[in-house]
Structure 1
Amino acid sequence: MTDAVMELRDLRLSLTGNAGPVEILHGIDLTVTRGETLGLVGPSGSGKSSLLMLMGGLERATGGRIRALDQDLTDLSEDALARFRRDHMGVVFQSFHLIPTMTALENVATPLELAGTRDAFGRAAEALEQVGLAHRGGHYPSQLSGGEQQRVALARAFAPRPAILLADEPTGNLDEANGAAIMELLFGLRDRHGATLIMVTHAPELAARCDRRIRLRDGRIESPAA
């Protein structure tokens, strides 16, 4: 089996606006290896988050191919992509995306239940304990601080023990202290579970922790490694 977890070949994305098509990504070629931590960096509007969304099958490419874990994702249906994410990927967003009517424990347990995991709530409780929130499992998102909500989001992403973790500005909505705590948790969980981590970040200290950094500018890879 190849060491490549994800391969992007001539990946392109264009969106149609009022003034016509807008080119977002221009022929991205990239290989991510098993167990690697890859930082996607660059100025705002360079295409980092769009690239991450394509990697997760959350956005459709308009050209090129994406392979992940030896599976070609390019032509999969929406349902097949959702199953692939459920079984193999965890995603952490800047804005948490917790379900407001569910407790922290239920937020973490829900994707496990959807995947048919035995003892989903037991696994969810273990994941909350790993992020220091065992005592907050019965609280709703509105009762949690921003830092606590991001911890719940991390627990939810890692609980299924995914092979690939995608993180889009995971510390972007947090103050410096909470951001530093989330950074330590993110890398600690990655080390514990052995996931390949692909992360968009503007934070230099977070990017510096990555094994490799890819810099984008105007939808192109400006610097393949740093």
Structure 2
Amino acid sequence: MSSPIVSLKNAGLTLRSGTGDVDILHEISLDVAEGETLALVGPSGSGKSSLLMLMGGLERATSGTVTALGEDLGALGEDALARLRRGHMGVVFQSFHLIPTLTALENVAVPLELSGVPDAAERAEAQMKAVGLAHRTGHYPSQMSGGEQQRTALARATAPAPRLILADEPTGNLDSASGGAIMDLLFDLRAQHGATLIMVTHDHDLAARCDRTVSLSDGRIA
């Protein structure tokens, strides 16, 4: 049996502030299999997004261990974490996080260029076509609708053919029609690459499309 692509063992997250420590996650133990689709659900403030950030090395566990893609994330420096994400993870945020001064095509090409891919522009163009935006490659984010911006963000996340896709409320800023189209696209792109998908969502219908659902409450797996 193959090793899990993500594994947390008694992982905790405490954020320190001037007014005292805030415990966000408590003793999370969870394995995610390669190729699995997993939904993280729970009320606002339950720790879903923080757990996703631990899995991507965007937050560091303050206790326990987090392993992803065969690497102990706690043992990696920031540069090594960035390389791991750039080459093998695709991250999709609720608020798109596109670079406003770059065109849609240039946004999609950024992770490919940073990885030294020789045909970055061609691959970015192919991925824009895959998300139905071949006609919008030269547009800037401010010239695009929310749905188009999220499609561009999906193209950017999936252009490097990542093994692991992390999505944090990817339809949270979209109307129901645009959100449904984005989710269909996300599952299609995941299937094309055989990637593992871990997604934070409040949408129970969306969670039901995943292989498994993990519910959080007060920073613990319920």
Q: Which residue in 1 is equivalent to 2:141?
A: 141
Structure-2-length-normalised TM-score? 0.98
Structure 2 residue identity aligned to 1:28: I
| Cα drift, residue 3 of structure 1 | 3.8
Distance 1:147 1:158 in 2: 16
Deviations 1:15-39 (A, max 9, x none): 1234311110000000000100000
Kindly provide the amino acid, as one letter, of the partner of residue 123 in structure 1.
R
Task: Out of 18-27 and 171-180, give the one that drifted further.
Answer: 18-27
Aligned to 1:117: 117
- Write out per-residue CA displacement over residues 28-72 of structure 1, whole angstroms, 9 at most, x where no aligned residue: 000000100000000000000000011111111101111112211
Counterpart for residue 70 of structure 2: 70
**Number of residues of Structure 1 aligned to a counterpart in Structure 2:** 222
Structure 1 counterpart of 2:214, which letter? I
- Secondary structure of the residue aligned to 2:75 is coil
- Give the corresponding residue for 2:15: 15
Query: 1:201 and 1:188 mapped to 2: Cα distance?
Result: 18
Task: Quote the residue 2:164 is aligned against.
Answer: 164
- Write out aligned runs for 1:68-217 (5 A): 68-217=68-217
Q: Which runs of 5+ in 2 are unaligned?
A: none
Is 1:42 aligned to 2:42, yes or no? yes
Q: Secondary structure in 1 aligned to 2:165?
A: strand
Q: Distance in 1 between matches of 2:52 and 2:208?
A: 19
Q: What is the root-mean-square deviation in Å for CA atoms of aligned residues?
A: 0.9
Percent of aligned pairs with the same amino acid: 68
Shift of 1:92: 0.1
Normalized against structure 1, the TM-score is what?
Answer: 0.96
CA distance in 2, matches of 1:128, 1:21: 44
Cα deviations across residues 152-199 of structure 1 (Å, max 9, x unaligned)?
Answer: 000000000000000000000000110000010010111111110000
> Structure 1 residue runs of 4+, over 3 Å off?
none
